[in-house]
Amino acid sequence: MRNVAILSYAQTPYVRSEIRRNEVEMLMPTLAEAIEKSGLDRKEIGFTVSGSSDYIAGQAFSFVMAVDSLGAFPPIRESHVEMDGAWAMYEAWVKIQTGEIDSALCFSFSRSSMGTPAEVMTLQLDPYTLAPLGIDAISLAALQARALLDQGKVSERDLAQIAARSRRDAMSNPEAQLKGDFDVDAILAEPTLVSPLRRHDCPPISDGAAVIVIAAEEAAKKSGAQPVWIRGIDDRIEPQQPGFRDLTVSRSAQLASQGAGVADGAVDVAELHAPFTHQELILRQAIGLGDDVRINPSGGALAANALLVAGLARIGEASRAILRGDARRAVAHATQGPCLQHNLVCVLEGE
Amino acid sequence: MSDAAEPVKRLVTPVRIEYRYTPGIAATKFLKAIAQGKLVGQRCPVTGKVYIPPRGASPTHGVPTEEEVEVSDKGTVVTYTIVRVPSENIELELPYAAAQILLDGADIPFSALLQEVVVEDVRIGMRVQAVWRPKEEWGPTFENIEYFKPIDEPDVPFEQFKEHL
């Protein structure tokens, strides 16, 4: 295996609605910042890959338009996944392993606010039996939360505490969107949005972009950037039908955690892509994180949830925790699909 | 379920999602200008090339294009096709020509339909000009230009626009 490092990470401030700039205009300064910090020249980066979805943009071929922000002339090697940007980075990591390239620019972007995200996510469901019911992302998450609560191992108070901690931590993250000091009892006094979930248990609608530059060891050393090493990475997927699996556990996150080698050392910080409060509890269990692990110091997806960006942002935020000196070894996780269907776990370490 | 039940042969599942789309800074400037009857592109600060309609970035250099440049509503056909099948949103009589038109002052061609010409006469290098709808109908839309029509100017040699296809 080739050693691969994150050389740089940049993200936009996340906002409720980016109505002024289009995707290209939103991306350009963030791409420039990440490339600048990577120490690599734009032209020497061997591969470019993005994650986004036309369904979110409400525009056909929106990812092709995003290429305008890259300066792709002379032609570059470029790819796209209709997935979270974390999987764009995974594609680049695999391509580095093949020896075909030594460095890659990975990014994702979305203006989730152009549509109604909870309903847009309905279209990823089985189109014959499930999507026609019109079940939206919040309702599906609520079914999962109900199944978890009914087991009696966790309470609504546990969920409210996750919401309060995430939004409080987000106060020290300049790019986070939804932040503040919220009282757990006050949260619990609020009505449910989709029972048992309250508004606080759900992510905000966010627009934004994230960019990461990775490189193989030789290229990383030459770049002069302070590397954060990707020590392990794995992704696993479960059946698309939420009814085919036990929603209170995440077998795929567990397998991805094993594949990435999470248990091979102590974990200081974990950035978990849990858009809904209860999902943090499921993931914590599945990935095998003890009570001493600091979860989502960035505020996580509960503080900013640009669709298909928030997973890549977890990797970026975990790398930042290492660069800040808050962690020696960190875990980053990304998810997509209904109710944690598809999970990616990676382990990061500093020098 | 009874064996006599008819099997399901067809399932109709309508899907509709509404978006509130905003076009961005550069395209907003273009649309506001076309509402005033002007065609305004943006110039790449590195190459000097003028893009219209602008999307805010120089596609060759990935840098913002901020300088606005008004271009002519006259131009040259750089390529075209004859349309012989009907299209739901175009009510023109068949056949008609759809062309890529390099507007004078721009560096990339602009898509438009040609009228007031028999399709056999359409050719690469032909000079054309926009025919605008009545001013009182103008809005922030491409539809302000009804179509392009030929004008009485000599054809432009291919050598002069071969870099702008």
Q: Under 8 Å CB-to-CB from A64, ≥6 apart: which residues?
A: none
Distance CA A271, CA A327 (A): 11
Structure confidence by residue, pLDDT tens digits, A203-213: 999 999 999 99
Q: Which residues of A29-63 are buried (b: 16+ CB within 10 A; e: fewer)?
A: bbbbbbbebbbbebeebbbbbbbbbebbbbbeebb
Q: How confident is the model at residue B5 (pLDDT cuts 50, 70, 90)?
A: confident
CA distance to partner chain A, nearest, from residue B158 (Å): 24
Residues of A with CB below 8 A from B54's CB? none
Report yes or no: B57 and B65 within 8 Å, Cβ to Cβ.
yes
Residues of A in contact with B53 (CB under 8 A): none
Residues 6 or more apart whose Cβ sits within 8 Å of residue A21: B24, B25, B56
Select from B55, B107, B108 the residue whose CB has the most chain A CBs within 10 Å, as the one to mutate to test that interface: B55
Rounded CA-CA distance A120/A112 in Å is 9
Predicted local distance difference test score (pLDDT) of residue B13: 85
Domain map (residue ranges) of chain A: 4-116+205-223, 117-201, 228-349
At the topology level, CATH places domain B73-165 in OB fold (Dihydrolipoamide Acetyltransferase, E2P) (2.40.50)
d(CA A167, CA A183) in angstroms, rounded, equals 11
| B59 to A71: CB separation less than 8 angstroms, yes or no | yes
CATH of segment(s) A4-116+205-223: 3.40.47.10
B1: confidence class by pLDDT, cuts 50, 70, 90? low
Q: What is the pLDDT of residue B3?
A: 66
**Where in chain B are the domains?**
17-71, 73-165
pLDDT of residue B11: 86
- Cis previous bond, A196, omega within 30: yes
Quick count: other Cβ atoms within 10 Å of Cβ A70?
25
Long-range Cβ contact pairs of B89-95 (< 8 A, separation 24 or more)? B92/B147, B95/B119
Supply the pLDDT for residue B2.
Answer: 58
How far is residue B145 from each of residues A54, B53, B134, measured CA to CA in Å? 28, 14, 10
Among the CATH numbers 2.60.40.10, 3.10.20.30, 3.40.47.10, 2.40.50.90, which is that of A228-349?
A: 3.40.47.10
CATH fold match for the domains A4-116+205-223 and A228-349 = yes
ipTM: 0.89
Average confidence score pLDDT of chain A? 97
